[in-house]
Amino acid sequence: MSNLKPVIAAVAEEWPPFGVAEEPLPGGLMLAVSGELDIATAPALRERLAAAVDSGVTRIVVDLRDVTFMDSVGLAAVVHARSRLASGGRLALVVDPDSYAQLVLEITGMPRAFAIFGDREAAVAHVRG
């Protein structure tokens, strides 16, 4: 009998709930995303990002370290926000290097398009310029 615990919860009730927490930054905004970022939840993130850009925010950090799953629709929400930022705007992602989100970003070639960091401090420093 093995003492190993499953890496991913097998029962839906064990999955962490989706959430987006906002934290103001000087001249910008940090959004910490948790749970599954997919076709069902991505619209909520897309709306938060669009509202930030529409209100004039030009410095955005999206923390994906607590994302347990991300599909192409979730990725598209972040790509859309980046495309809507003014030319002087900056968007950085915080991703655990060993996470599923990092894998999705790498497979899709996003490290060439986004500034990706392993911790918030480096991401915040990047968006501040």
Read off the CATH number of the domain in which 73 is found.
3.30.750.24
**What's the total number of domains in the chain?**
1
Q: Which of 98, 97, 46, 117 is nearest to 75 (CA)?
A: 46
The DSSP symbol for 42 reads H
**Is there a domain that residue 110 lies in?**
yes
**Is there a domain that residue 93 lies in?**
yes
Please name the residues in contact with 75: beta carbons below 8 A apart, sequence gap of 6 or more. Answer: 104, 105, 108, 110
pLDDT tens profile 51-65: 999 999 999 999 999
**Is there a domain that residue 2 lies in?**
no
pLDDT tens profile 73-85: 999 999 999 999 9
Q: Which of 2, 128, 14 is nearest to 68 (CA)?
A: 14
pTM above threshold 0.85: yes
Range of the domain at 105: 19-128
Q: What angle do CA 10, 101, 33 make, to 5 degrees?
A: 85
pLDDT above 60 for 5? no
